[in-house]
Amino acid sequence: MIGGRRPLHGRKLGDRRVRVERPHSAYFRYTGPGQLTAKATASAPTTPLGRAWASVRHVLFGRQLSNEEEAYERLPKKLALPIFSSDAISSSAYATEEILRVLVIGGASAIIFSIPVAIAIAAMLAIVSTSYRQVCRAYPSGGGAYVVARENISQIAGLIAAAALLIDYVMTVAVSTASAVAQVYSVIPQVYDYRIEIAIASIALITIGNLRGLREAGLVFASPTYMFVGLALLMIGLGFARIITGTAPDVPPPSDAVAMGTAPVTGILLVFLLLRSFAGGSVALTGVEAIANGVPAFKPPEAKNAANTMTMMAILLGVLFIGITVIADTFNVLPTTEGGPTVVAQVSAAVFGDGSILFILFQAATALILFLAVNTSFNAFPRLAAILAKDGFMPRQFSFRGDRLAFSWGIVSLAAVAGVLLVIFGGDVHALIPLYSVGVFVCFTLSQIGMVRHWNSSRDSGWWWRAIVNGGGAVLTFVVFLVVVSMKFLDGAWLVVVLVPTLVAMMLFINRQYAASARQLALRPDQVMTAPDREERVVIPISTLNRAVVQAVNVGRSITDDVRAVLVSDEPEMAEEVREAWQRQMPGVTLVVVESPYRALTGPLLAYLDVLDQAWPPDTEAPITFVVIPEYVARHWWERILYNQSTNRLRTALIGRPNTVVTQVPYRREEPALFDRTPGSEEA
């Protein structure tokens, strides 16, 4: 962006011109000797394009926030609950369906097992959330599985947890968005054809919301979650009333229902089916860890508030999940093939009446909470990525914060990867789910193993029963992890099994890179640096003689007297013309013409620099070579394709050359050539 430039005097601030008396006061506060603090004006854009872009950003993302405003961005429980638990709670919209899809293969005699399977999963939820309450209290700085596993087990365990979490967040975005769209086409079947477009548009919207910052997202995200929970509880109440009064309807199987198995399944096959349906339904547990990761976003006392929100969430999720499963089972609801209504939509149609206002409201709330569940990941993924970046396991950009205190890189990366996944899997929830729950159980297991070791080393009062809670949770979640991986391996879980070690390897690799560069760059703390005694030499690659070249030569002459211009050319006649003009107009500056019959520019120039170095007396240090490159500054971005194409390649090649520094001397159209207003001043 050329937009950084500003006029030298009387810079425009807002609408009035400021008279400059203390020059720094417009942009800085003086905060100590050699110490200034920038005001917002210091980074205000000054070009029309820059200002326009700033206005767009202001409208989309809100005004800039300074670091001090962070403290205000804290969430009270009534906002934290919908924000951090929309993911977990909303999984009740598809978990029952995943159970039924498996059991339906075993026919009517297998389907009745859906309720015990759901209860088993809810029991696991109780155990996992109890363990995570302990995480909230032990790690008020908001660690989640990564921090817990790294601190208590090992770095590698931490990275495995981090990789699994990152995958999990991406999957949350993909699955919840796909499921939300499925709720919509359960009501309006025509939407099915536009499911991908709608999914992508929703992700874009949520991305923008998150780039705007956390608190405003909270307000947006609170109402649909409460609406969903309220309506779902109403639906379950009405459903149970009809079951108790014996007026439960028998839902006629939809025309596109999945074919039901006819032979009764028993023995080992039944066990396999139950395990598979358990693995499918365990997707209900995804998102439970989000609160533990986000403890610092709670209002103080952070840990206590987070732990209580965790319990609240687990109770709500358990009630909804079991309630919906019981009704679906009693009403004989069956899953449909891709494109048909979802199980939860059939349940609400049966309870509220198909086409009734309550049915439509509930479907809308389900779709909304699912669309918004995505926000849990948009809170968690960038935070985790930023922690990893600060620890040197991801590129540093992930820890840069944008104007609105949001980690822009993480937000945008998450949206991009999830969008690609949605397109690849054609927006099909059922196809995406096998990739989903594997990572979750890896995290659960690692973080609980970590907690056991944490209690073991802390020896606080009651440490041993806390350790038992977490240890039991660890064993249980590890078993479930094995069940999920083995049952869903061919359906897609293998991909996660491959991806987690790949991500861990990448993170280790990045860390090694940063560590190596830091080591190589480190100074001994006692080293005192004084100015070195190195000669300098200036080489100026040129293609003709013009004002930009004169400017570069003058910059070169201000560095040292050892200045030479090099013309690499494949047209000898033109080179001769330049030489003739050069000798007349640039007296005292050497020009070397290098003929390049192969039309290459960079190669011959580098070779020439090598020749210069080799010609230097071998017992002295070679001088610093300043390659001074004249550039013509395009006024507009679209003009850049017209200029400096060959110098850009040259610059890139020179960056790798030892003893060489590259100096770009831009010639700007608008200003007169400031360095060459010279005709007749003294020779340097």
DSSP string, 171-191: HHHHHHHHHHHHHHHHH-GGG
Q: Residue 489 gets which letter from DSSP?
A: I
Residue 635 in 3-state DSSP? Answer: coil
The residue type of 557 is R
Strands 590-595 and 563-569 turn out to be parallel
Binding mask 462-501 for a copy of itself (x = CB under 8 A): ----------------------------------------
Among the listed residues 200, 248, 387, 548, the single contact to a copy of itself using CB under 8 A: 548
Nearest to 659 by CA among 534, 477, 557, 568: 534
Is residue 530 at the binding interface for a copy of itself, with CB under 8 A as the rule? Answer: yes
- Can residue 30 be called a binding residue for a copy of itself (CB under 8 A)? no
Contacting a copy of itself (CB under 8 A), which of 354, 546, 562, 648? 546
Window 60-89: residues binding a copy of itself (CB under 8 A)? 64, 66-68
Contact with a copy of itself (CB under 8 A) among 75, 303, 631, 647 = 631
User: Which two structure tokens, joined as six digits, stand for 608?
Assistant: 């020439």
Near a copy of itself by CB under 8 A: residue from 19, 48, 531, 573: 531
To the nearest whole angstrom, how small is the minimum distance from the Cβ of residue 580 to a copy of itself?
10
* CA separation, residue 181 to residues 235, 287, 350 (Å): 21, 19, 20
Fill in the DSSP letter of residue 636. S
Touching a copy of itself, residues 582-601 (CB under 8 A)? 584-588, 590-600
Q: Which of 24, 51, 78, 390 binds a copy of itself (CB under 8 A)?
A: 24
Q: Report the residue from 118, 372, 373, 545 that binds a copy of itself according to the rule CB under 8 A.
A: 545
DSSP 644: -
| Residue 603 in the binding site for a copy of itself (CB under 8 A) | yes
User: Does the footprint of a copy of itself cover residue 427 (CB under 8 A)?
Assistant: no
Three-state DSSP class for residue 625: strand
Residue among 123, 420, 516, 574 that touches a copy of itself (CB under 8 A): 516
Min CB(147)–a copy of itself separation in Å: 21
Say how many residues make up the chain.
684
**Which residue in the set 12, 13, 17, 38 belongs to the binding site for a copy of itself (CB under 8 A)?**
38
Q: How, if at all, do strands 660-668 and 624-633 pair?
A: parallel
| Interaction of residue 8 with a copy of itself, rule CB under 8 A | yes
Structure tokens, 616: 């230097």
Residue 454 makes CB contacts below 8 A (sequence gap 6+) with 138, 148, 151, 152
Contacting residue, 522, 573, 617, 619, with a copy of itself by CB under 8 A: 522
Site map 322..361 versus a copy of itself, x via CB under 8 A? ----------------------------------------
What one-character DSSP code corresponds to residue 47?
S
Q: Which of residues 611-630 bind a copy of itself (CB under 8 A)?
A: 611, 613-615, 621-622, 624, 626
Exactly one of 362, 645, 647, 648 binds a copy of itself (CB under 8 A); which one? Answer: 645
194/608 with CB nearer a copy of itself: 608
Expressed in percent and rounded to 5, the helix, strand and coil fractions of the chain are 65, 10, 25
**Nearest distance from C-beta of residue 548 to a copy of itself, angstroms:** 5
From the CB of residue 531, how many other CB atoms can be counted at a distance below 10 Å?
5
Residue 525 binds a copy of itself (CB under 8 A): yes
* Residue 682 within binding range of a copy of itself, rule CB under 8 A: yes
Which residues have C-beta within 8 Å of that of residue 475, sequence separation ≥ 6? none
**Segment interacting with a copy of itself, rule: CB under 8 A, options 452-460, 466-474, 487-495, 653-661:** 653-661
For residue 301, is the peptide bond before it cis, meaning its omega torsion is within 30 degrees of 0? yes
- Angle between helix axes 267-281 and 114-138 (nearest 10 degrees) is 40
CA distances (Å), origin 282, targets 437, 474, 482: 7, 15, 12
Residue tagged 């198909």 (tokens) = 354
Answer for which of 17, 43, 76, 574 binds a copy of itself (CB under 8 A) is 43
- Provide φ and ψ at 626, rounded to 5°: -90, 115
**Which region, judged by CB under 8 A, interacts with a copy of itself, from 114-122, 134-142, 218-226, 642-650?**
642-650
Q: Kindly tell me which of 71 and 615 has the beta carbon lying closer to a copy of itself.
A: 615
CB 566 → a copy of itself: shortest distance, Å?
Answer: 9
CB 107 within 8 A of CB 263: yes
Number of residues that bind a copy of itself (CB under 8 A): 143
Residues 360 to 399 in contact with a copy of itself, rule: CB under 8 A = 395-397
